[in-house]
Amino acid sequence: MIALEKVCAGIDRVQILRDVDISVEPGKLVLVLGANGAGKTTLLRVISGLVPLWSGNLLFDSKSIAGQPAHELARSGLVHVPQGRQIIPTLTVEENLVIGASHLPGITQETIARRLEAEYERFPVLKTRRSLAGGSLSGGEQQMLAVSRGLMMAPKLLMLDEPSLGLAPQMVQRILGALAGLARSGISVLLVEQKTMALEIADHAYVLKNGAIVHSAAASDIVDHTELFRHYMS
C-alpha cells in the first residue's frame, strides 16, 4: 500500500527526517508515536506531497509518488487529515463534507449522497448538526467532521495527524473506535499520535524520535514494554 524506504526530508535547509522506513499494508492501522518535535507532522506532509522528498523511496501501490502534487495524490486515494482539523468554519457541516468529494473526477450526486449517509451513520451527531456552521461544533465534533470529510473521498489510505489533540479521553475513544472500524472495513490507516491510547487499536507501531525510527514492533508488544516506551518518548 504505502512504503517509505530510507526517506530523508526537511524544511528549507533543516533536515527533519533521517532514513525513515515505514510500511502500511492494506487494511492495517499503523501508528507512529512520538513526542512534540519528533517529526511526525513532517512525515505525513512528505507522504502527501506537501513537503519535498530529499532522498529515499516513497511508494504508493508499488509506484513512486515522489514529486507528485498533493491534489493528485488525494485523488488517487491517499488522503491526509491534518492536525488542527482545518474545516471551513463558515460552511455548514454538510457543505464541509461535500467539498471533500465534489472535485473527484467522474463522481455523481448519487455517490455523494450515498457517502454522506455512510458518514452520518458513522457519526450520527454530524447528521443532527448538518445545517449548522462547522465552526459552531465542539472540538470533538469538528474532529469527527474532519475525519468524515476525508472519508468522503473514498481513500485507500487515510492519514491522520494527532486527531486526539485537545480532546477529552471519552471523545478520543470514540474517534479511535471509528478508526479501528475503518481498518476492519479494508481502509488502510496511518495515524501519528502522542497518546498511548492509540496503541489499543493499532496493528503495528513505530516510534519516531528526532526524525528517526528508533523502534518498530507489533503494537501489543510495545504495550507490554512500557519502560521501553517511556524511554523513547522522553
Give the C-alpha separation, 199 to 222, whole Å.
8
Cell numbers given for 181: 472500524
Same domain, residue pair 73 and 130: no
Query: What's the order of all strands across the beta sheet hosting 78-81?
Result: 78-81, 157-161, 188-193, 29-33, 204-209, 212-218
For helices 139-151 and 169-184, what crossing angle results, to 10°?
Answer: 10
Each residue's pLDDT tens digit, 106-158: 899 999 999 999 999 999 999 999 999 999 999 999 999 999 999 999 999 99
Model-level pTM? 0.91
Same domain, residue pair 149 and 164: no
Q: Is residue 207 part of a domain?
A: yes
Model confidence at 227, in pLDDT bands (50, 70, 90)? Answer: low
* Count of structural domains within the chain: 2
Same domain, residue pair 136 and 112: yes
Give the C-alpha separation, 183 to 185, whole Å.
5
Q: Give residue 36's pLDDT.
A: 87
Q: Give residue 225's pLDDT.
A: 63
Q: Give residue 230's pLDDT.
A: 65
Q: Which of 108, 125, 154 is the last residue of a domain?
A: 154
Same domain, residue pair 71 and 47: yes
Cell numbers given for 186: 479494508
Give the C-alpha separation, 228 to 217, whole Å.
12
Same domain, residue pair 54 and 142: no
Same domain, residue pair 69 and 132: no
Report the CATH number that the domain containing residue 196 is assigned in CATH: 3.40.50.300
Q: Is residue 111 part of a domain?
A: yes
Domain that includes residue 34, residue range: 1-77+157-234
pLDDT over threshold 80, residue 85: no
Same domain, residue pair 109 and 198: no
Measured CA to CA in angstroms, residue 14 lies from 8, 17, 182, 191 at distances of 11, 10, 35, 24
Q: Give residue 121's pLDDT.
A: 94
In contact, 201 and 169? CB cutoff 8 Å? no
In contact, 194 and 35? CB cutoff 8 Å? yes
Q: Which of 99, 123, 154 is the last residue of a domain?
A: 154
Helices marked H in 66-213 — which ranges?
Answer: 70-75, 93-99, 109-122, 124-128, 139-151, 169-184
CB count, 10 Å around CB of 57? 14
